[in-house]
Amino acid sequence: MINLKDIVQKLDLKVVSGNLDREVSAGYASDLLSDVIANAQKDNIWITLQIHLNIVAVANLQELAGIILVNGREPEESTLKKAEQENIPILLTELPTFEIVGKLYELGIHGTQ
Amino acid sequence: MDDNKRTTTKIQELTYELRIKDVMTKNIETVGSKMHVSHLRDILYDKRISGVPVAKDNKLIGIISIEDFIKCLEQNELDTLIEDKMTKNVKTLYADEPLVHAVMKFEKYGFGRFPVISRKDKKLVGIITKSDIIKGVLKKLETAYHDEEERRYRASHIFNDVVADEIFFKFQYYVEGKNFDRAGEAATGLKKTLYRLGLSPEIVRRAAISTYEAEINIVAFTKGGKIIAYLEPHQIRIVITDKGPGIPDIEKALKPGFSTAPGWVRELGFGAGMGLPNIKNFADKMTLKSTVEKGTRLEITVKLSDYRNED
């Protein structure tokens, strides 16, 4: 398993919240929250363009390892506050979903199947 | 590994939480600048300290250490004045700064101690050493540990302490309609509560996720409602009621992918038509009743097959 800290370093992600000392089991990419709830698994890294507060609730409930926001999108202020509170790592990238997922795959992070 | 991870974070957390004034030594020895260096012998030896702030009218004007004293001893300069041998540009810390600032300054300068002054009147109020930091953090950790122990005791022993043939808990949460900023609070609250009561993580997750989906439905579609979770001897029963507008076609609403969510809800990533199907998946039982204009009642059951296994 790969550590969140390694992912941040290797993919040059910007960290805006949370503790990076976490192992990542696999990845899931989706912008529909209910889809993430249905299909992501514990310790997954979640790739999305949603920046609203509720991504933190979903990550918290599913006990995800962290959230990567794509396309240079920044979380809303309330999202950030909640993420700090619940200690959910939020990472930012300028890349779109397809590219960042490809890079994650190269690092050995695969899907949930 | 897990333990290590937790302690590191906890200690980091504590260094932000604790203030310098919480851990510093308050009753400190000071010397005057016009005293002779020889005077230090008694203070350093008697008090077993390695450095003394030099003060005038409670204001810090320098610091003199055991190293300075030894140098004077070697060069036979014990009768010089402290002001000629002390360090004058002293690095200090404010009493109200978080402890992490002290940690960083120790790392940066490699000094053994920093005098602490009050931000308001710049008066010398204490001194901080690395061992003060360690002691302070350990003490705080111990307190936190005791609190945690006590809390755990309370939570898991409720079942043993309460005398009854069967025990039921009821937790009630109110959910505002149309307010996505608070959506998820009920589910997160229930999750924390159930964990504290010692339920297994899998059961807690299933109950919390089902509750979350139901909570989102209240927020997205209704004028508000409430969630009542009953913890019963063999199951968690979650009853979600709202004040309308009700669901015209329940069969359709249960179909995966069917959604009546308005645009603003979809933009937030909801409205995929997966809420109710998700609940059906995560729960052991789900019943949905709705009267148009009056409201909807959703009942979710999660069975506690491994209830209180951890006792």
* pLDDT per residue as tens digits for the range A7-17: 999 999 999 99
Task: Tell me the pLDDT tens digit for each residue of B50-74.
Answer: 889 999 988 999 999 999 999 999 9
**What's the confidence (pLDDT) of residue B125?**
93
CB contact under 8 A, A35 and B274: yes
- Residues of chain A contacting B, Cβ within 8 Å: 19, 21-22, 31-35, 37-38, 48, 50, 52-58, 60-63, 78, 86-87
Query: How does residue B241 score in pLDDT terms, banded at 50, 70 and 90?
Result: very high
**What's the confidence (pLDDT) of residue B1?**
45
Overall residue count recorded for chain A in this entry: 113
CB contact under 8 A, B187 and A19: no
Closest CA of chain A from B221, distance in Å: 15
Cα dihedral angle (B18, B188, A13, B10), rounded to 10 degrees?
Answer: 30
CB contact under 8 A, B187 and A63: no
- What gap in Å lies between CA A14 and CA A92, rounded to an integer? 5
Give yes or no for a contact between B205 and A40, defined as CB atoms under 8 angstroms apart: no
CB contact under 8 A, B275 and A34: yes
For B268, which of A52, A86, A87 is closest by C-beta distance? A52
Tell me the β-bridge partners of B302. Answer: B236
- Give Dmax over CA atoms of chain A in angstroms: 34
CB contact under 8 A, A34 and B205: no
CB contact under 8 A, B269 and A31: yes
CB contact under 8 A, B180 and A53: yes
Residue B88: alpha-carbon gap to chain centroid = 40
Residue in chain A closest to B282 (alpha carbons) equals A38
Work out the burial of residue B88: count CB atoms within 10 Å of its CB; fewer than 13 is exposed, 13-18 middle, 19 or more buried. Answer: exposed
Give yes or no for a contact between B43 and B68, defined as CB atoms under 8 angstroms apart: no
Question: And the tokens for B161?
Answer: 């302490």
CB contact under 8 A, A35 and B272: yes
**What's the confidence (pLDDT) of residue B307?**
44
CB contact under 8 A, B269 and A57: no
Q: How many inter-chain contacts (A to B, CB under 8 Å) are there?
A: 76
Phi, psi torsion values for B59, nearest 5 degrees: -100, 140
Strands (DSSP E) contained in A49-104 are 66-69, 90-92
| Integer CA distances (angstroms), B1 to A22, B8, B9, B138, B248, in order | 11, 11, 13, 20, 53
Is the per-residue pLDDT at B2 higher than 80?
A: no
Which residue in B212, B217, B218, B280 has the most chain A C-beta atoms within 10 A of its own C-beta, making it the best mutation to test that interface? B212
DSSP string, B195-257: HHTT--HHHHHHHHHHHHHHHHHHHHHSSEEEEEEEE-SSEEEEEEEE-S---S-HHHHTSTT
Closest CA of chain B from A102, distance in Å: 23
Residue in chain A closest to B184 (alpha carbons) equals A57
CB contact under 8 A, A61 and B181: no
Angle at A32 between CA A64 and CA B283, to 5 degrees: 70
Query: How does residue B181 score in pLDDT terms, banded at 50, 70 and 90?
Result: confident
Tell me the β-bridge partners of B291. Answer: B295
Query: How does residue B153 score in pLDDT terms, banded at 50, 70 and 90?
Result: low
Task: Tell me the pLDDT tens digit for each residue of B280-297.
Answer: 999 999 999 999 999 999
Q: Which chain B residues touch A35 with a CB distance below 8 Å?
A: 272, 274
Give yes or no for a contact between B65 and B112, defined as CB atoms under 8 angstroms apart: yes
Give every CB contact of residue B169 below 8 A, 6+ residues apart in sequence: B197, B230, B231
pTM strictly above 0.80: no
- Residues of chain B contacting A, Cβ within 8 Å: 5, 8-9, 180-181, 183-184, 187-188, 191, 205, 208-209, 212-213, 216, 268-270, 272, 274-275, 277-278, 281
CB contact under 8 A, A32 and B187: no
Closest CA of chain B from A36, distance in Å: 10
Overall residue count recorded for chain B in this entry: 311
Closest CA of chain B from A104, distance in Å: 23
ipTM above 0.95, yes or no: no
Task: Tell me the pLDDT tens digit for each residue of B120-133.
Answer: 888 999 999 999 99
* % of residues, chain B, pLDDT over 90: 50
**What's the confidence (pLDDT) of residue B290?**
95
Is the per-residue pLDDT at B184 higher than 80?
A: yes
